[in-house]
Amino acid sequence: MATGILAAFLLAVGAIALGSRPFAVRSDATRFDALVAAARAVAASSGNGATLAFVSGGGGAGTTARLYAGRPNGGAMRATSLAPVRLRAEVRAENVGRPPFAIFFSSAGYATAASGSYAPGSFLASEPPCPVPSPGAAVVTFSAGRAGESRTLPCPSAVGASP
């Protein structure tokens, strides 16, 4: 009897843990960290920053992130050799929402974000402002079930820098 109760308890705990999909969230947050590091490196060497573009996956499942050299100001964006990265968790940027959206990195590595699809040939009239609810930072959240992680990227106004 006690063994049956213990087995049922362990199955319930396992189902709850798997339902939260913590591995997908942690894995995607780690992939995002690597994308941010690559974006900052590209931004520092491109002369016009970098753009990380996020689009929804087919059928609403997942998100694809792609790194571009440059920002969408006059046709300056161009593809990098980094392959698109597929993220399984739900991705959301504060003040921007769900994909499609983009995070723009200045040559100094500071980030701002805007909603919409951005690819080579896109045009953005001006640099988006720093988010208001989280002054001085763009916040990106990954979630799946009950699991979630956030990443905070400082933007120019947080340190008095220009884009």
Distinct helix (H) and strand (E) counts, the chain: 3, 9
Q: How far is CA 132 from CA 33, 100, 139, 146, in A?
A: 23, 20, 11, 26
Per-residue model confidence as pLDDT tens digits over 59-75:
556 889 999 999 888 66
pTM: 0.79
CATH number belonging to domain 20-159? 3.55.40
Structure tokens at 9: 């308890």
Query: Could you tell me if 134 and 94 are in contact, meaning their C-beta atoms sit under 8 angstroms apart?
Result: yes
- Band the pLDDT of 104: cuts 50, 70, 90: very high
Query: Could you tell me if 49 and 71 are in contact, meaning their C-beta atoms sit under 8 angstroms apart?
Result: yes
The mean pLDDT of 18-34, rounded to a whole number, is 78
- Band the pLDDT of 12: cuts 50, 70, 90: very low
Rounded to 5 degrees, what angle do the CA atoms 95, 110, 44 make?
Answer: 140
Query: How confident is the model at residue 101, as a pLDDT?
Result: 92
Please tell me the distance from the alpha carbon of residue 50 to that of residue 107, in angstroms, as a whole number: 8
